[in-house]
């Protein structure tokens, strides 16, 4: 399963689900809804955390948290 | 008199809530504690019309009513509890129009709690620049609330907001869609039977968040837990499903009320300033360099620019003291007033320029949105040491003062990260240490330029002391990371807001509020200590003070005037209570190179380290003024001879031993009290005090023994 953590800079995907129930509420509230497009825009130095564009704004999270967001490429 | 209505401002972080608050209330603000970088509520008065005052309550920014950190808890503790003294008559939800959907999520939750709500649409200009046109009349109809378009920064739209507020207050109309997702009627009935008739959504809030709400007793929490179990209710599932459901509804609303010009014209996405700036600020190398450059300017400001107003304050206090000494007859009262009270107040006032400069920079960094980039690039580094990207703000603020810094840790979601940050924050060199550093460095480090004349050697040593504090904080955090156990995993899901031009009004309020809080909160402690110190240094057991004075007069028959009174003062001090205390602890501090005089300074500065310089000037018979030529205190201390070696007392070894001691020691009652309040346990202030004192003692011991 591909996750947001697998994206390279400039790549995008569509959220299909979450693997961590506790984090998922926070992510949902922040606008990471199933079906929404995410684009990876920045890596912090050393590749972690990352920043994504989602629902019209920029959201940062750690790589391990990004790995809980499942995506598909369509 | 009619009760003054209360309005709470609620909104996402960065939605412009605080701008609106400042626009509405101006200077009519009452500060709770240290606001600004901190997370407390603020109140102020808003004049709706002549004789029509409204109390406005500014609450921490939140994304949803389900809190994830301590600062967010405050909001549901107020909105969820009608008996709370701050429970508002209505709420203004401030929404960032350029990110409407996410902002409306919070709005829809607050409205469903059954509190009359007005929606204030802010940053419409930003939305329009990005190609979104919002039909706010339609939006008001769809959401069945009053909607007011405002520009909080420029203060436009306030009259429209007044109208909406007045209408909503008169009608007391709380629109309510009922529950976002149905639950069984019995579940709601049972909660209402136990806790009274309220809106069903509020019932669910109680059911799901009672652990975080202070209004419930242990027994009541048990009742709510039983209801949860009985009905197989799963709070996490419900919250997630509710959020998805609300977004579904809001997507439709936004689609109907917002026209996306980009889509119509098929225009390529606009390259915004934020994107361009992030290329630089988040760059793997450039990002760090830029951050370092900002730190450099910040320190430059605090160490050099601030000295001018500080000297002015110093001279002013000295002038006042001399003037009072001139016009008042010599008495105990005069001594207490001038050397005790005014010297003490002067010791507080002198920090104002530095605190003002630091809060200027910190609030500028937060205002512009740059601070969250700092958290972003620092998270990975900080995580290695058991901290969090968000720990950067407290660590940076504590260069000004650890008290607001510790309070600003409330935004750190993970308990372990927050605790470690609180414990190590006082190791950062706060502004109270600066005068101590300045005096001691001037004493033992020669004034000369190094590195091609670019840097001043004294300045370099000062900078190294600050770095030392920072690295010791990291090191201690790392040790604590290994010892403390985490209950939950730490996370770092955070918005990177768009860059904004700083609102200078807001910056100046932040500075003003923090300076005010420092003067009144910390000031109380410092003044109290100064008075106690004065008493202890002016009185001694039995007739010892009289004897001391006579002894000097007999020993030095040729002296008169200032020189004589200085000698007498010195002898008196040695025989005072303070002198006895100093001598009592002398054996313990001998290995660090300190004598009883420094002992007195150590004792007095255990409650507040800023007392050190004042104590030193009292001890070295300077009558409480550092002011009459800073050179005087330096020269006096420089002239002090070590009776054992016959060489100057303040040599390199003693100077650095003292510097290190003050860099690491926990000498601040206010900080300990804040740690107690923030952790709700005596354990952590005690740990903090213990480990920092041990650290200070051992390091000073090592430094002294190595250098001497």
pLDDT in tens, B172-225: 666 666 777 888 888 888 888 888 878 888 888 999 999 888 888 899 999 999
CB atoms within 10 A of CB B196: 9
Nearest to residue B623, comparing CAs of B574, B571, B578, B569? B569
Q: Chain A contacts of B14, Cβ < 8 Å?
A: none
Interface size A-B, in CB pairs within 8 Å, comes to 104
If pLDDT is split at 50, 70 and 90, which confidence band does B449 have?
low
Look at residue B622 in the predicted model and tell me its pLDDT. 41
- How close is the nearest chain A Cα to the Cα of B20, in Å? 22
Return the SS3 of B603: helix
* Interatomic CA distance for residues B533 and B614, integer angstroms: 10
- Chain A CB within 8 Å of residue B109 CB: no
Q: Is the pLDDT of residue B2 over 80?
A: no
pLDDT of B107 over the 90 cut: yes
With beta carbons under 8 A apart, name residues in chain A contacting B237.
21
Q: How far is A36 from chain B (nearest CA, A)?
A: 11
Residues of A in contact with B108 (CB under 8 A): none
CB contact under 8 A, A21 and B491: no
Residue with tokens 């002011």: B627
Tell me the mean pLDDT in the region B425-432: 90
User: Between A28, A49, A65, which is nearest B240 by CB?
Assistant: A28
Report the candidate in B234, B118, B123, B130 with the shortest Cα–Cα distance to residue B187: B234
From B243's Cα to the closest Cα of chain A, the distance in A is 6
Eight-class DSSP state of B610: T
pLDDT tens sequence across B276-294: 888 888 888 888 999 988 8
- Phi, psi angle pair for B468, to nearest 5°: -60, -45
Site from A40, A41, A49 to mutate, B interface, most B CB atoms within 10 angstroms: A49
- In chain A, residues with a C-beta closer than 8 Å to the C-beta of B284 are 43, 45-46
What is the percent of chain B where pLDDT is above 70?
A: 88
Coil vs helix vs strand at B92: strand
pLDDT of residue B138: 93
Whether A60 and B495 lie within 8 Å, measured CB to CB: yes
Model confidence pLDDT, tens digit, residues B296-329? 888 777 767 887 888 888 888 888 888 888 888 8
- Segment (H or E) for B271: none
How many angstroms separate the CA of residue B187 from the nearest CA in chain A?
23
Q: Give B281→chain A minimum CA distance, Å.
A: 10
B379 with A31: Cβ contact below 8 A: no
- Helix B415-424 with B669-679: angle, nearest 10 deg: 170
Does the ipTM surpass 0.90? yes
The topology (CATH level 3) of A4-72 is SH3 type barrels. (2.30.30)
Residue B625 has pLDDT above 60, yes or no: no
Confidence at B410, pLDDT banded by 50, 70, 90: confident
- Judged by CB atoms closer than 8 Å, whether chains meet at A51 and B496 is answered as yes
Task: Provide the greatest CA pair distance for chain B.
Answer: 99
Measured CA to CA, the distance from residue B367 to residue B688 in angstroms comes to 32
Query: How much is the pLDDT for B629?
Result: 43
Higher pLDDT, B151 or B460: B151
* CA torsion, ordered B554, B556, B561, B566, to nearest 10 deg: -100
Q: Return the pLDDT at B319.
A: 86
pLDDT for res B635: 67
When pLDDT is cut at 50, 70 and 90, the band that residue B454 belongs to is: low
Distance in angstroms (rounded) separating the CA atoms of residues B425 and B670: 13
Computed over every residue of chain B, the mean pLDDT equals: 83
Report residue B623 CA to chain centroid gap: 34
Residue ranges of chain B assigned to CATH 3.40.50.300: 6-171
B6-171: which CATH topology?
A: Rossmann fold (3.40.50)
Q: Whole-angstrom distance between the N-terminal and C-terminal Cα of chain A?
A: 14
Question: How confident is the model at residue B275, as a pLDDT?
Answer: 82
CB-based contact (8 Å) between B504 and chain A? no
Write the residue in B98, B247, B285 that is nearest to A33 by C-beta. B247
Instruction: Tell me which residue in B282, B377, B495 faces A57 most closely, judged by beta carbons.
Output: B495
For residue B660, the model assigns a pLDDT of: 95
Q: Which of B282, B379, B496 minimises the CB distance to A59?
A: B496
Which of B173-177, B305-309, B357-361, B576-580 is the least confident region? B173-177
Q: How far apart are the C-alpha atoms of B155 and B595, rounded to whole Å?
A: 60
- Label residue B685 by pLDDT band (50, 70, 90): very high
| B102 in A contact zone (CB under 8 Å) | yes
Min Cα distance B391 → chain A (Å) is 15
Peptide bond into A49 cis (omega under 30): yes
Q: Is B486 on the interface with A (CB under 8 A)?
A: no
- Position B334 scores a pLDDT of 79
Measured between CB atoms, which of B243, B278, B379 is closest to A42?
B278
Q: Give me the residue from B102, B376, B495 closest to A49, CB to CB.
A: B376
Q: Does A34 touch chain B if contact means CB atoms closer than 8 Å?
A: yes
Tell me phi and psi for residue B407, to 5 degrees.
-70, -30
- Tokens 């689609």 correspond to B255
Residues of B in contact with A46 (CB under 8 A): 284, 380
pLDDT at B256: 92
pLDDT score at B543: 77
Is the model's pLDDT at A13 over the cut of 80?
Answer: yes
**By the CB < 8 Å criterion, does B550 face chain A?**
no
């Amino acid at each position: 399963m591909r996750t947001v953590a697998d994206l390279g800079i400039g790549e995008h995907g569509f959220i299909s689900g979450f693997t961590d129930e506790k984090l998922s509420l926070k992510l949902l509230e922040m606008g990471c809804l199933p079906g929404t497009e995410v684009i990876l825009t920045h890596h912090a130095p050393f590749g972690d955390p990352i920043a994504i564009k989602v629902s019209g704004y920029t959201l940062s999270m750690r790589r391990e948290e990004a790995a809980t967001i499942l995506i598909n490429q369509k | 008199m009619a009760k003054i209505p209360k309005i709470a401002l609620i909104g996402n972080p960065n939605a412009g809530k605080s701008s609106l608050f400042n626009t509405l209330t101006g200077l009519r603000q009452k500060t709770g504690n240290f606001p600004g970088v901190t997370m407390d509520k603020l109140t102020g008065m808003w004049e709706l019309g002549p004789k029509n005052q409204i109390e406005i309550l500014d609450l921490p920014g939140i994304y949803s009513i389900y809190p994830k950190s301590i600062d967010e808890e405050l909001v549901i503790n107020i909105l969820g509890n009608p008996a709370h003294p701050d429970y508002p008559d209505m709420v203004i939800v401030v929404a960032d129009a350029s990110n409407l959907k996410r902002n409306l999520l919070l709005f829809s939750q607050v409205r469903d709690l059954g509190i009359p709500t007005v929606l204030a649409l802010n940053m419409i200009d930003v939305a329009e620049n990005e190609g979104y046109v919002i039909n706010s009349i339609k939006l008001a109809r769809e959401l069945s609330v009053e909607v007011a378009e405002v520009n909080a920064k420029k203060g436009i739209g306030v009259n429209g907001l007044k109208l909406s507020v007045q209408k909503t207050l008169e009608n007391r109309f709380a629109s309510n869609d009922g529950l976002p997702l149905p639950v069984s009627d019995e579940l709601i009935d049972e909660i209402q039977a136990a806790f009274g008739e309220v809106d069903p959504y509020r019932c669910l809030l109680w059911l799901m968040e009672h652990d975080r709400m202070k209004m419930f007793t242990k027994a009541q929490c048990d009742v709510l837990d039983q209801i949860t179990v009985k009905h197989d209710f799963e709070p996490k599932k419900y919250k997630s499903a509710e959020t998805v459901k609300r977004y579904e509804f809001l997507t439709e609303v936004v689609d109907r009320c917002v026209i996306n010009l980009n889509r119509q014209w098929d225009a390529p996405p606009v390259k915004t300033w934020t994107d361009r700036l992030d290329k630089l600020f988040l760059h793997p190398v450039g990002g760090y360099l830029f951050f370092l450059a900002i730190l450099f300017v910040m320190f430059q400001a605090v160490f050099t620019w601030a000295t001018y107003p500080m000297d002015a304050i110093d001279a002013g206090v000295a002038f006042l003291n001399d003037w009072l000494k001139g016009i008042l007859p010599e008495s105990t009262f005069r001594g207490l007033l001038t050397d005790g009270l005014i010297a003490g107040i002067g010791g507080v006032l002198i920090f104002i320029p530095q605190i003002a400069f630091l809060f200027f920079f910190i609030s500028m960094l937060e205002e512009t949105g740059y601070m969250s980039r700092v958290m972003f690039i620092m998270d990975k580094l900080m995580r290695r040491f058991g901290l969090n990207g968000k720990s950067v703000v407290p660590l940076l603020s504590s260069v000004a003062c650890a008290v607001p810094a510790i309070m600003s840790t409330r935004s750190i979601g993970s308990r372990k990260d927050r605790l470690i940050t609180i414990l190590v924050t006082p190791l950062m060199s706060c502004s109270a240490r600066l005068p101590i550093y300045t005096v001691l460095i001037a004493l033992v480090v020669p004034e000369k330029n190094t590195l091609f004349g670019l840097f001043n050697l004294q300045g370099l040593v000062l900078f190294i002391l600050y770095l030392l504090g920072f690295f010791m904080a990291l090191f201690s955090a790392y040790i604590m990371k290994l010892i403390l156990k985490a209950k939950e995993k730490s996370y770092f899901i955070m918005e990177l807001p768009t860059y904004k031009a700083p609102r200078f009004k807001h910056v100046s309020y932040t500075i003003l509020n923090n300076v005010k809080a420092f003067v009144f909160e910390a000031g109380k402690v410092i003044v109290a200590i100064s008075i106690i110190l004065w008493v202890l240094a002016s009185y001694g057991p039995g007739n010892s003070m009289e004897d001391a004075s006579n002894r000097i007069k007999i020993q030095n028959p040729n002296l008169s005037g200032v020189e004589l009174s200085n000698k007498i003062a010195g002898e008196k001090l040695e025989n005072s209570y303070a002198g006895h205390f100093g001598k009592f602890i002398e054996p313990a501090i001998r290995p660090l190179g300190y004598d009883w005089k420094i002992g007195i300074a150590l004792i007095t500065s255990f409650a507040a380290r800023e007392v050190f310089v004042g104590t030193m000037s009292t001890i070295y018979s300077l009558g409480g003024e550092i002011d009459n030529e800073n050179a005087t205190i330096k020269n006096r201390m420089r002239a002090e001879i070590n009776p054992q070696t016959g060489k100057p007392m303040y040599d390199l070894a003693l100077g650095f031993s003292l510097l290190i001691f003050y860099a690491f020691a926990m000498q601040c009652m206010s900080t300990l009290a804040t740690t107690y309040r923030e952790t709700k346990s005596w354990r952590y202030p005690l740990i903090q005090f213990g480990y920092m004192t041990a650290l200070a003692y051992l390091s000073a011991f090592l430094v002294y023994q190595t250098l001497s």
